[in-house]
Copies of this chain bind each other. A is one copy, B any other.
Amino acid sequence: MAEEVILLDFWPSLFGMRARVALREKGVEFDMREEDLSNKSPLLLNMNPVHKKIPVLIHNGKPVCESLIMVQYIDETWGPESPLLPSDPHERARAKFWADYVDKKIYPALRTTVGEAEETAKKEYIECLKVLEGELGDKDYFGGERFGYVDVSLIPFYSWFYTLETLANFSIREECPKLVAWAKRCLQRESVAKSLPDQYKLNDFILSSRRSISLNK
């Protein structure tokens, strides 16, 4: 039986990007289906009845939800010759810790910064990025020489940097030069380049979403 791999997604989604990058790293062919989030498809509601959110990976009819769990699933299911997570349990736990940090700290700080562009939110966001810059250090990737799990988890956020810098008036390159160099290194990979949207297109989308949110208030 041929494998059927469907990704229910929405192009500006940071979490969708993670799944796209991981699938492409593993060379998995997939059918990306764009969801209309104001009118979710019966397939989405059926496959993720608990959260009703994208992305959802459907592999031979079975759903996998939550982007970090999805990246782990992809890593365990395809391409064992190019693992995303390290094999050593302690190194695995460490990679999971940093991906969790991205979800717990970087994502909420991003939302606050884009939503309010206040000085305190901006400072907090930069502090969180600097923690990651410290963890990266002089390594090529978070795991060392190979692109891996933490890179997949964080790289989607780079597509929002342009908007953040414009809205909040600061330079991520000046604050975190190593992190920006790392992002450019990641973007040389086809898996990443194909999965992240154009930053100007994304910027237009974010600005128009903010306008419609404030109009609806």
A residues apposed to B, CB below 8 Å: 50, 59, 62, 64-66, 69-70, 72-73, 76-77, 89-90, 92-93, 96-97, 100-101, 131
Contacts and interface: CB of A to CB of B under 8 A. Distances in A.
A106 to B, nearest CB: 12
Contact of A96 (B59, B72, B100): B72
Given A69-B96, A73-B89, 18 more contacts: A50-B101, A50-B131, A59-B90, A62-B90, A64-B90, A64-B93, A65-B97, A66-B100, A69-B93, A69-B97, A69-B100, A70-B93, A72-B92, A73-B90, A73-B93, A76-B89, A76-B92, A77-B89
Contact of A97 (B66, B92, B93): B66
Contacts of A90: 59, 62, 64, 73
14 contacts: A50-B131, A62-B90, A64-B93, A66-B96, A66-B100, A69-B93, A69-B100, A72-B92, A72-B93, A72-B96, A73-B89, A73-B92, A73-B93, A76-B89
A96 to B, nearest CB: 5
A59 B64 CA distance: 32
A62 B70 CA distance: 27
A58 B97 CA distance: 14
A201 B101 CA distance: 33
Contacts of A72: 92-93, 96
A65 B95 CA distance: 11
